[in-house]
Amino acid sequence: MTHSRREFFAASGGLMAAGLWSADGACIPPESGPPPPPDSWTTRELKAEVLVAGGGLAGVCAALAVARNGASVILVQDRSRLGGNSSGEIRMHVCGANQTKELTLWRETGIIEELKLTESAVNRQRSFEIWDFILYDKIVSEPNITLLLDTAVVGAEVANGKLTQVAASSFLLAEHYTIEALCFIDCTGDAALAAVAGAHCMRGREAREQYGESLAPETADLKTMGNSLLFQARKHDKPMPFHPPAWARKFTEEDFKHRSIHSWEYGYWWIEWGGELDTIKDNRRIRHELLRILMGVWDFIKNGGKYPESENWALEWVGMLPGKRESRRIVGEHILIQQELERAELFPDRVAYGGWPMDDHPPGGMDCRDLPPCQQIHFKQPYSVPLRSLYSADRANLFMAGRNLSASHVALTSTRVMASCSTLGQAAGTAAAFCAKQGVLPKAVTVTPELMIQLQQLLLRNDQSLLGIANEDPDDLARKARVSCSHQTESGTAAQVIDGWNRDIGDGHSHQWQAAMTNGEPWLRLDWDQPQTLRQVQLTFDSALHRRLFLSGEDGAYNAQTRGPQPEIVAEYVVEILVNGAWREVARNADNCLRRVVHAFEPAPVSALRLRVLKTQGDPLARVFELRCYA
């Protein structure tokens, strides 16, 4: 059946006062489902094991995780490019847990690290459009992914509490799609798929007493954090006058007493507004007001008299798509709250982590000139995110990832940043592929310890870091081997490549093999008592997770980074296997820039495996965190 908005609103009763609301505002008209496409449109029926709605970083990571775990996936994105708030349309920083000094070790790993390392290595021209292209290339290069750009989800079929198919339309192509899948993932940010499927959603700020959150307001309301609009500017060799439009706002120095104008090449996140409105339904109004503010800020810089040195500066790009922080959130089996973040709760079904501060913004944005533009409360350690917060409580096969996860407003102020959302996407995508292959629903995974352990080990295998969980994968044959090496440092012993940890976790151990490149060609070797049939080797290198790494239009943020390939990464190496007493080369990499690399080869009975390091990207030590082997 098609679940109508009116039926769901009636079933929801008085939940709106508590911040729970119906799917009102979805694309389907009451009682009728989505309208049929025009006769001139092409209608297509598609099938996949998983459908991902939304192509921001959470959706990109979700789709890649599904595909790389062997399931077919259709990725539906309503824009012409991928990346969401990070894309060339919006250009916000991809921030995460390690943006604060307390958590410098905890840059996110997995797919988002692969994307960041790729961008840093190839995007020497510092172009957001190249970042967009990198995301596009990663998606279209996966044979298991079908990408539908310029396509929006407009309806859903629900039977017995599960989604069976969605309707999607592309006005650009005059095409309408009916898409069947086993599992669905809502990565739209606005919970657009959940809305048309009639799933319980939340919006606004919960009252303090609802979850006992000290940072929540005393009374519940529907206010959110606002949207932002960025700009970029460039210095020229001649005066560049600026004449603001008549509708631009006028500002005085008093308006910026809590807001720093520190440079001009990149806009300000505090150009924010709209949290007192509905950031979905009122988006057009919010965009225009943000443009009024942006033009007024630039007018103040250029013509206000305080910054005469801006004379040769001119705008070269103005965002026309507001970057959202908050709208709908989907109600899951578990609603993540402030106290769980503060005490760094280690959920038994943890599949990701966060660590960005609880970073709340006044809903009025620039209208609240007497208030600081944000209130940040930092964590001393990262917190975990449970799988139960990544699937719907009343749509059994609907996952979600990104800022529409199941969290209170207060908890969302931390989890919403894009690097964190990316790990949620990888977690949801991996879980969806796992469920599709196992023939189970996500709730069955969380209540079955054996399945949960399998999923967590699968995430670790794909380089998704999990707090307090080490590699215990029974299929990893490296764990059964003896480890030796050519040479090693005192803190970087060879045995650590199979100690279960593939990063610095702050416990005083390096968890990596280290060998000086000046002492001859370093090599690392695994030996088995009996030959093992191998067909895959997985290497995890050191990519300097203690440093910040993200594309930025802001000179200060960009120049403070180590750009290009990260020096600590092993750049050139050879993998050899010992078969019947003879060494055989099975993999060679001449210019590696990634942290995790997987090499497959023809299966063979292997008695030993050897990694020879020929070159790093500049570091004097060869550094290897982990070596895994699979049949």
Q: Which amino acid makes up residue 347? A: F
CB distance 178 to 165 below 8 Å: yes
Name the residue type at position 463: D
Yes or no: say if 604 and 517 are a contact pair by the CB < 8 Å rule.
Answer: no
The residues, ordered by sequence, that sit 6+ positions from 48 with a Cβ below 8 Å of its Cβ are 71, 72, 73, 74, 146, 179, 180, 181
Cite the residue boundaries of each domain of the chain with CATH code 3.50.50.60. Answer: 5-205+330-461
Domain with CATH 2.60.120.260 in the chain: 477-630
Beta strand 596-616 pairing with 523-541:
antiparallel
Give dist(CA 75, CA 50) in Å, integer: 9
Contact (Cβ atoms closer than 8 angstroms) between residue 197 and residue 411: no
Alpha-carbon distance of 522 to 486, in angstroms, equals 6
Residue 331 · residue 202 · CB < 8 Å: yes
Strands (E), 349-464: 350-354, 358-360, 375-377, 383-386, 398-400
**477-630 belongs to CATH 2.60.120.260:** yes
DSSP letters, 419-442, are HHHHHHHHHHHHHHHHHHHHT--H
Q: What is the DSSP letter of 324?
A: P
Tokens at 345, concatenated: 């709760």
Distance from C-alpha of 132 to C-alpha of 126, rounded to nearest angstrom: 12
Nearest to 78 by CA among 27, 25, 132, 149: 149
Ranges in the chain, pLDDT < 50: 1-32
Cβ atoms of 461 and 539 within 8 Å: the answer is no
Nearest Cα to 165, choosing from 183, 144, 148, 179?
A: 179
Q: What is the pLDDT of residue 33?
A: 62
What's the CA gap between 594 and 377, in Å, rounded? 33
Helices (H), 439-526: 442-446, 449-461
DSSP state of 207: -
- Separation in Å, CA 212 to CA 216, 218, 328, 338: 8, 10, 21, 9
pTM, to two decimals: 0.94
DSSP structure class, residue 332: B
Evaluate whether 367 touches 272 at the Cβ level (below 8 Å).
no
Token pair 């109600």 in the structure block, residue: 331
| CA gap 136, 104 in Å, rounded | 30
Q: Which residues contact 276 (CB under 8 A, 6 or more apart)?
A: 223, 363, 364
Q: Among residues 569, 577, 623, which one has the least CA distance to residue 602?
A: 577
Backbone angles phi, psi at 330, to 5 degrees: -90, 135
- The neighbour count for residue 160, using CB atoms within 10 Å, is 7
Element (H, E) at 299: helix 283-303
Cα angle: 12, vertex 17, 19; to 5 degrees: 80
CB 185 within 8 A of CB 27: no
5-205+330-461, what's its fold?
FAD/NAD(P)-binding domain (3.50.50)
Which region, left, alpha or beta, applies to residue 510 given φ > 0 means left and ψ of -120 to 50 means alpha? Answer: alpha
Residue 622 bridge partners (DSSP): 515
Contact by Cβ (8 Å): 42, 151: no
512 with 492: CB under 8 angstroms?
yes
Report the C-alpha gap between 274 and 487 in whole angstroms.
60
User: Do 128 and 551 meet the contact criterion of CB atoms below 8 Å apart?
Assistant: yes
**43: part of which helix (H) or strand (E)?**
strand 42-47
154: left (phi over 0), alpha (psi -120 to 50) or beta: alpha
Calculate the alpha carbon distances from 389 to 189, 199, 330, 401 in Å: 15, 14, 9, 9
